[in-house]
Amino acid sequence: MVFALAEFALIALVIGLLVLGGWVFWRALRGEIGGSPGVRRLPSGPRAELAAAIGQARWAPGHDEVDGVTRVLLRRTYTGLDGRPAVLEERVLETFPAADPAWEALFTEAMAKARYRCTYLNAEESG
């Protein structure tokens, strides 16, 4: 009786290890090992391309309007693998009401500051 129980436990252990090994192998084939569950890792070629693109990220001025406030932004962007720009970092340089009567003058001055700041940041990072 004791031998039968030990034999059953050994068989259950072997089957469990086989199932676990199969599951790990399946995740490795799908590229999920080493990352978040359900998130696939890029193959080494595209991963190197992405790293090179991020390494060439540049600061560029931008603007938007949120809740009636115009924001002048500094954005650090790169070209993604799909050819579209992707934002790594975004900093708000200035804000002012979108309904301000002097909006155009404020906007022109803020964008000039943003262009200057982006030139400075890009020079600082490349040097």
For residue range 65-113, what is the model confidence (pLDDT) as tens digits?
Answer: 999 999 999 999 998 888 888 999 999 999 999 999 999 999 999 999 9
pLDDT confidence bin for 20, thresholds 50/70/90: confident
β-strand 85-97 against 58-66: which pairing, if any? Answer: unpaired
The string over 9-25, giving b where at least 16 C-beta atoms fall within 10 Å of a residue's C-beta and e elsewhere, is eeeeeeeeeeeeeeeee
| Lowest pLDDT segment from 21-30, 34-43, 55-64, 91-100 | 34-43
Q: What is the mean pLDDT of residues 37-56?
A: 77
Q: Is it the case that residue 119 has pLDDT exceeding 90?
A: yes
pTM for the full predicted model: 0.62
